[in-house]
Structure 1
Amino acid sequence: MGDYQQFVTDVTTRLSAMSKGELYVAGDSLDRDSLWLTFLDSFPAGTNLKFRERSEYDCSTCRGFVKGFGNVVEIRDGQVRTVWSGVSASDPVFSVVAAAMDEFVGSLPLSGIFRSPEAQYGTKTTRTLRDGQVEVWHHLHGRVEKRHHSTDVGPARGTFDAAVQVFQRGLAELVPHALDTVADLIDGNALYRGTEHRRAVTEFRSLQNQWTQAADRRAFVFANAMHPAARFRNTVIGTLVQDLSAGVDLEQAVRSFETKVAPQNYQRPTALITPAMVKAAMKTIDELGIEESLQRRFARLSDVSVNNVLWVDNDTRSRMKDGIEGLLMQAATTGSSGARLRDAKPEEVPIVTFMKDILPDAASIDLWVANSHEPHFVSLTTGRHPAAPRLFTWDNDFAWSYGGNVTDSIKERVKRAGGNVTGKLRVSLSWFNFDDLDLHVYEPDGTHIWYQEKRNKLDVDMNAGSGHSREPVENVTWTGKVPAGEYRIAVNQFRKRESNGVGFVIETESNGKIEHYSHERAVSQKETVEVGRMTVAGEVITAFRPGKDMQAGSAGKDLWGITTEQFVPVSTIMYSPNHFDDSEVGNRHYFFMLKDCVNDQPARGIYNEFLRRDLQPHRKVFEVLGDRTKCEPSPDQLSGLGFSSTVRNSVVAKVTMTGGRHRLVSIQF
């Protein structure tokens, strides 16, 4: 017979040692009688003899212990170990019993944390009197430390079960790439108060890495369910990782996060790109060999082939890339000065007619540059390394940049923002920073159109809630009947976020005519600027009286080295580079390069709208590159006015024809 007393001592010692750490139960829904029957059936034949009426080891005291503590387990070094593990290894009888119980309990699934209303099960010894002799019986017994004892086990088990569920979902649903992206944003100081969450992200990433390598993942979850980082999925930073894991766009996910944690006047300090995104983009840049292509500058006349110039004045010809040779146009003569140009209404000429019938015989061209043309100031850009591979969707290295570093007019910006630009009457607001400006229009009967009462007319309201665009617009369009009378237009600063890029521009359009009115100083918090009074008759704007702080009309101002509200000589006329060399990629622009027109501000040489298709996946990185690799001002640049073929507009030109005849034309786009 084996030594049952030693077996009892081993089990008791084992339970005591386990009790110092966290205890769990396996097969909590198991019928506890199964534990007891397995215990009795595990004795080798002939070792559990009858004592009087019952088996020797079949007593109520041992039964209480086996049912109470028999399926208690610990998790050590990632492995589940039962209260029977390694017990009585030197005893052939009870080693078999312990091994059988260990195998049975070890096969049961982990089901929860161990909490018991009873701190102790079993009794160490009992005594009986037999033939006048006192017999001492040893029993399985043991007690657990106070931390495992509870008079109400439900809440404790419920809390643990909830923690396991949250931890398990976080480990399975939050993808490593999303965690890496958030960590990169924090390290790059691109996330509001991100440093507060660095530890949580780091610790959860570490737990997830361990979980993926664990031999028993369920055991790992149980062992770490009460770790502070286990509830990561349900934290505010965890919701950001959830969104990214679910495929939400980075900017949208971060805006959602910042809505939860940032004050309303929060302004993002840096762009939303991560080191991983930069690394991926640079890998593509390296593979394509286009690193030199990213270095941009203002284009000079000597860069442009004569084949891509529609017209050039005499003084400019010798500076062309191909020189005078190959210039396929008639020699222009200076002729006599001719009669003084009379004040007269210009004849309206479509741009196609102007190019076909007037331009070939033009000796000189002067353009009337109005204040309203300020958004049309444009510069031609090119690469610093002519042999470098192209960046754009067309087969040359030229690009363009309008004033304010945009690729198109206010109208085009409204279109891109989803606004309607095809109505009978339009009033659009454009500004250049993260402020939240609001457009207010009052119709003749007092009807107020603004973001709270859009009246089916205001269809674009940008930078509300959070500043996320430096090309914001708001737009009001009348598609139905346009009431006659006087309209009042105002702009309110709902939330000021920046001191850079201040001011705004109002654009009006009716009957194909576009006018601009600008406000150049900063608009302070909650300030309302009176833009002006607009008179409408027959659904057309017949008059506009600007407010006192608005600039429009005949007062000339200095822009890019020239003075507006006067005629300025044209040096060169060309299409936009996407239509060079008979190419036709996207909308065509007409560029009138002006003499002595010099953009004195750094200009973007790279726009995402221009990029080749294989570079589009890295557009967020290229957005930053475009902002940080601007072309520095140079005196010999090609700058002037640009007009899109998709936007109705006009410009007045004074044309001196070969032979000295003069024509005053309004070129219609």
Structure 2
Amino acid sequence: MIKGDDTVGDFQQFVTDVTTRLSTMSKGELYVVGDGLDRDSLWLTFLESFPPGTNLRFRERSEYDCSTCRGFVKNFGNVVEIHDGQVRTVWSGVSASDPVFSVVAAAMDEFVGALPLSTIFRSREAQYGTKTTRTLRDGQVEVWHHLYGRVEKRHRTEDVGVARGGFDAAVQVFQRGLAELTQHALDTVVDLIDDNALYRGTEHRRAVTEFRSLQNRWTQAADGRAFVFANAMNPAARLRNTVIGTLVQDLSAGVDLEQAVRSFEVKVAPQNYQRPKALITPAMVKAAMKTIDELGIEESLQRRFARLSDVSVTNVLWVDNDTQSRMKDGIEGLLMQAATTGSSGARLRDAKPEEVPVVTFMKDILPGAASIDLWVANSHEPHFVSLTTGRHPDAPRLFTWDNDFAWSYGGNVTDSIKEKVKRAGGNVTGKVRVSLSWFNHDDLDLHVYEPDGTHIWYREKRNKLDVDMNAGGSFTREPVENVTWAGKVPDGEYRIEVNQYNKRETTGVGFVIETESNGRIEQYRHERAVGHQETVEVGRMTVAGEAITAFRPGKDMQRGSIAKDLWGITTEQFVPVSTVMYSPNYFDDNEVGNRHYFFMLKGCVNDQPTRGIYNEFLRGDLQTHRKVFEVLGDRTKCEPSDDQLSGLGFSSTVRNSVVATVTMTGGRRRLISIQF
């Protein structure tokens, strides 16, 4: 403590300067230095810094007797801020105009500034020190001035240890990330994200790029530890301990790119996710380009949609009468009669078709067919296929068969309800599943009542409802909700309802319910708009032996999905077939790999850029460069064209079926379920 007339210099101004300085610092983050030092050393340094003769009252003593000032110095004396990357103490720049206290402040600033940063500042107390005290001496009241100061509320806490522990842990994570995560690994991950080659990578891009920026600034910082402290609470500083951080760690540690990405995707991907793009490095590109140059196949990489005029008549199993004249080799070799067909509709589809294996269909029925119409269901969307070929007919072949044709399924654009649920992170592998799908920004809610009355909905998910979309925040036009029973499925009758919680749009109305058990999938559609707060009774579902044995739709529900337009085709109806053929790996005398059966449809036009190169098609001497060709296939897609061969394709190795109406040359009509 000091009385105004007992010192040389303006102590009150010194107190004001220190108090103001602390108050200003307190508006930002505060830290402490030398946290392990003896606090008495702060106090002794303060006392000993006064120039000789400046303490008149206590000139015969070596220390002050003021516990108030001592408490301030011990508790606030080693508090610092980080300003423009530099550590600045509470004494920095104090009393620059006073020769006495400038010396004191400078000595304290030098002593404290040399101490290492320790941790964040937190305190249980709002204030240390008292502005003034009074004593009575020789009948006179003496006013004594003291060092004192307050800090903002943000720096106060009842549990100082917890607060400091959390900060110290953040500093450690940030320091390890800066030291262990390489710039090359960070750049690689950003490139993968920008190239859309990393599942759910986009949501992590900001964190990776911000950490990369922090690391660049850290390498240029004059005081690296001060930079770490100042930025430790930035969410990006915790990158090392995030899921995307594990990928950067693996790459930094030299793990193979493919292996590291696969490990990351296992952590974040729903079941059965397959990454759409390969991962390549500059070295892989150079090696592949060397092979491409040596083999002279650069022109072979240029692909387009195949036209009917490209295909030899010998490779067509059946052709519609109206299509014959467009064939490459005319109609020579084909024996068929012109015929007309009547209209095909849902009435035929609802009849009981005769089941015929595809081999029998090709051998005994197709040769005598005058016209064929396929029932194109929404569930066939993954089977939409296009035939492709090279732009340069004389270029060397790329594939393992002796022609330049290939094919591309539209599986990468499938939006079946089950696929939507998988993409949204829902469980599609339970014993029984009920999924809701709709087509606009409305907030529909799925409600399921179990036999005992248990209500499953967004407020009581009961570990069964795992996807709830368009409830708030971002909206999608491919929303789903999903209820799955992974464990015990009680026997009895289940009531299913859909409620319109929030109606937002008047277009894209209606919804579809999909049920699944024992591998059997069924859909039920509601075509009209659902009013605000309206509840629709979807139906009653009977479960026995943990399988759906019956479904009784509500009065406004219809079996089947809502028709939609795909590749110029309207689904959920019969569509005329123009051509039937095997896949190109079975053209001419080729028999390479699995056989596919292609039913090219009239008016079917793939309007999306389509891959013309797939790794599984490549000839043997190109297999070494599979990763590069995977990227080439994605980067050299066939541009859409009106004149193309597209339709439905089915593999001989996958069990499936499609319903067809076949009009025979004699006029007889047959409804056939072709079994693959």
**TM-score when scaled to structure 2?**
0.52
Q: 2:336 is matched with which residue: 322, 326, 332?
A: 332
The alignment status of 1:399 with 2:398, answered yes or no, reads no
Give the distance between the partners of 1:281 and 1:492, measured in 2 at CA.
53
Shift of residue 247 of structure 1? 2.8
Partner of 1:602: 608
**1:173: Cα distance to partner?**
1.2
Which residue, 146, 149, 153 being the options, matches 2:111?
149
Check conservation: 1:655, 1:663, Cα contact below 8 A. Answer: yes
Say whether the 8 Å CA contact 2:578–2:601 is kept in structure 1. yes
Separation of aligned partners in 2, 1:615 and 1:504 = 45
Tell me how far apart the structure 2 counterparts of residues 277 and 288 of structure 1 sit (CA, whole Å): 16
Asked if structure 1 preserves the Cα contact closer than 8 Å seen for 2:299 and 2:392, the reply is: no
Q: Are the equivalent residues in 2 in contact too, given 1:170–1:233 (CA < 8 A)?
A: no
Work out the CA distance in 2 between the residues paired with 1:464 and 1:445: 28
**Counterpart position of 2:671:** 664
Corresponding residue for residue 553 of structure 2? 544
- Counterpart CA distance in 1 for 2:482 and 2:499 is 12
| 2:327 pairs with 1:320 | yes
Write out per-residue CA displacement over residues 115-138 of structure 1, whole angstroms, 9 at most, x where no aligned residue.
9x9xxxxxxxxxxxxxxxxxxxxx
CA change 1:156–1:420 in 2 (3 A) is closer
1:176 CA displacement: 1.9
Matches of residues 204-215 of structure 1 in structure 2 within 5 Å? 204-205=215-216, 207-208=218-219
1:61-107, Cα deviation, whole Å (9 max, x unpaired)? xxxxxxxxxxxxxxxxxxxxxxxxxxxxxxxxxxxxxxxxxxxxxxx
Cα distance in 2 between the residues matched to 1:445 and 1:516:
25
Alpha-carbon separation, structure 1, partners of 2:494 and 2:482: 19
Q: 1:649 to 1:200 in 2, by over 3 A?
A: closer
Q: Closer, same or farther in 2 for the Cα pair 1:272/1:398, shift >3 Å?
A: closer
1:236 to partner: Cα distance? 1.9
Q: Give how far 1:186 is off.
A: 11
Pick from 645, 657, 668: which aligns with 1:638? 645
CA contact (8 A) 2:512 2:562 kept: no
Aligned residue in 1 for 2:592: 583
Report the count of equivalent residues.
493
Task: Quote the Cα distance in structure 1 between the aligned partners of 2:465 and 2:634.
Answer: 31
* Cα distance change, pair 528–399 in 1 and its aligned pair in 2 (3 A): farther
- Equivalent residue number for residue 301 of structure 1: 308
Residue of structure 2 equivalent to 1:246: 249
| 1:346 positional shift | 2.4
Q: Which residue of 1 aligns with 2:126?
A: none
Q: Give the AA of the match of 1:380.
A: S
Residue 378 of structure 1 aligns with an amino acid whose one-letter code is: F
Task: Determine helix, strand or coil for the equivalent of 1:571.
Answer: strand
Matches within 5 A, 1:550-565: 560-561=567-568
CA distance in structure 2 between the partners assigned to 1:476 and 1:432 by the alignment: 19
In 1, are the aligned partners of 2:373 and 2:660 still within 8 Å (CA)? yes
Structure 1 residue 571 displacement after superposition: 1.3
Q: Which runs of 5+ in 1 are unaligned?
A: 1-23, 29-112, 118-142, 211-220, 258-270
Q: What CA deviation, in whole Å up to 9, does each residue of 1:592-629 have, x standing for no partner?
A: 22223335x43543799979776775799789859xx5
Distance 1:414 1:532 in 2: 19
Aligned to 1:488: 496
TM-aligned CA distance change 1:501 to 1:291, over 3 Å = farther
Aligned to 1:382: 388
**Paired letter, 1:358:** I
Q: What amino acid is aligned across from residue 657 of structure 1 in structure 2?
A: M
Could you tell me how far apart the structure 2 residues matched to 1:247 and 1:434 are?
40
Distance 1:393 1:250 in 2: 29
Quote the Cα distance in structure 2 between the aligned partners of 1:159 and 1:625: 51
| Distance in structure 2 (CA, Å) of the matches to 1:390 and 1:450 | 56
Structure label with greater radius of gyration: 1
- 1:333-372 aligned within 5 A: 333-334=337-338, 345-369=352-376, 372=378
Tell me, yes or no, if the aligned pair for 2:436 and 2:482 is still in contact at 8 Å. Answer: yes
Q: Relative to 1, partners in 2 of residues 1:436 and 1:273: Cα closer, same or farther, differing over 3 Å?
A: farther
State the Cα deviation string for residues 432-452 of structure 1 (Å, max 9, x = none). Answer: 899998754444554444577
Q: 1:177 aligns with which of 172, 176, 184?
A: 184
Where in structure 2 are the equivalents of 1:431-446 lying within 5 Å? 440-443=447-450, 445-446=452-453
The CA distance in 1 between the partners of 2:576 and 2:322, in whole Å, is: 11
Counterpart Cα distance in 1 of 2:511 and 2:609: 19
| Alpha-carbon distance change, 397 to 431 in structure 1, aligned in 2, over 3 angstroms | farther
Aligned to 2:539: 533
Whole-Å separation in 2 of the counterparts to 1:476 and 1:460: 8
Residues of 2 paired with 1:439 and 1:393: CA distance? 49
Which position in structure 2 is the counterpart of 1:103?
none
The change in CA–CA distance for 1:345 and 1:246 in structure 2 (over 3 A counts) is: same
Cα-to-partner distance string for 1:160-183 (whole Å, 9 max, x where unaligned): 997997776344312222343577
In 1, the alpha carbon distance for the partners of 2:106 and 2:228 equals 28
Q: Is the 8 A contact 2:304 2:612 kept in 1?
A: no
1:223-302 alignment, distance < 5 Å = 224-228=223-227, 235-240=234-239, 243=245, 244-247=247-250, 286=289, 289=292, 297-302=304-309
8 Å contact kept, 2:512–2:526? yes
Over 3 Å counting, the alpha-carbon distance change for 1:501 and 1:489 in structure 2 is: same
Aligned counterparts of 1:459 and 1:356: Cα–Cα separation in 2:
48
Distance in 2 (CA, whole Å) between partners of 1:499 and 1:606 is 39
Query: Matches of 1:234 and 1:491 in 2, distance apart?
Result: 43
Aligned AA for 2:611?
Answer: G
Instruction: Measure the CA separation in 2 of the matches of 1:278 and 1:364.
Output: 51
Separation in structure 1 between the aligned mates of residue 190 and residue 500 of structure 2, nearest angstrom: 38
Unaligned runs of 5+ in 2: 1-32, 38-86, 92-104, 122-166, 252-259, 269-274
Residues 256, 427 of structure 1: alpha-carbon distance in 2 compared, 3 angstrom cutoff? closer
Measured against aligned partners, the alpha-carbon deviations of 1:530-555 in whole angstroms (never above 9, x if no partner) come to 483255487434543475xx786699
Q: Which stretch has the larger CA shift, 446-455 or 351-360? A: 446-455
Give the root-mean-square deviation of aligned CA atoms.
6.6
Contact 1:204–1:230 under 8 Å retained in 2: no
Sort the Cα spacing of 1:434 and 1:281 in 2 relative to 1 into closer, same or farther, 3 A: farther
For 1:247, the aligned partner's letter is D
Question: Cα distance 1:574–1:337, how it changes in 2: closer, same or farther (>3 A)?
Answer: closer
Change (3 A) 1:523 1:323: farther
Are the structure 2 counterparts of residues 272 and 566 from structure 1 closer, same or farther at C-alpha, using a change threshold of 3 Å? closer
- Taking the aligned partners of 1:466 and 1:391, their CA distance within structure 2 comes to 48
Q: Which amino acid aligns with 1:240?
A: L
Name the SS of the counterpart of 1:667 in structure 2. Answer: strand
1:147 is matched by which residue type in structure 2?
D
Q: Please give the alpha-carbon distance, in whole angstroms, between the structure 2 residues aligned to 1:611 and 1:408.
A: 26
Contact 2:285 2:628 (C-alpha < 8 Å) held by counterparts = no
Give the C-alpha shift of residue 147 in structure 1: 1.9
Please give the residue correspondences for 1:646-657 in structure 2 after superposition, counting only pairs within 5 Å: 650-657=657-664
**CA 1:583–1:347 in structure 2 vs 1: closer, same or farther (change >3 Å)?**
same
